[in-house]
A = this chain, B = another copy of it.
């Protein structure tokens, strides 16, 4: 069953945008090292304020490291993401220099890098699924993330397996999500809401 065709762009865009979606159905198939490097390489080329490049990534692929991730990810996410061969913590540096001055763009720019990573992954035939459901404080402790950094998201990376066993609840969610129409978030001249 290919539910992806239900998505439709209202304006001409690279088809990769509609192909990329956040399935929970991961295959156990390992991710080739070259592909793993490639997705982080794409993130690397994101633009950022003053080219500060606030993004950092901690990834797990060894069993012991994956288990560490499972300890701070919400149980309802672990239920499906435990099948993913790679888990990644997307981390932003909140300061921009040695004096500790704040970088007000750290979360925004790190989100851009994650965007680039997710598209490159889709292009390489990989599935990514970003999660906000995790214990931020515990993630920092477990991954030994220094004080001035923040864990923004956890992402699961791997190959898609439409036949992967999922709970009934998660199986029901295996439909690529839709989006609000353009005129609900795009305004000319001033904010119109």
Contacts and interface: CB of A to CB of B under 8 A. Distances in A.
A114 B47 CA distance: 10
Contact of A37 (B11, B18, B34, B41): B11
A93 to B, nearest CB: 9
Interface residues of A, number: 76
A65 B60 CA distance: 48
Contacts of A64: 189
A50 B132 contact: yes
14 contacts: A9-B41, A10-B37, A10-B41, A11-B34, A12-B41, A13-B42, A17-B116, A20-B45, A41-B182, A45-B179, A56-B193, A104-B132, A108-B108, A115-B116
Interface of A: 9-14, 17-18, 20-22, 34, 37-38, 40-42, 44-47, 49-51, 53, 55-62, 64-65, 68, 91-92, 104-105, 107-116, 118-120, 123, 130, 132, 142-146, 149, 152-153, 177, 179-180, 182, 185-191, 193
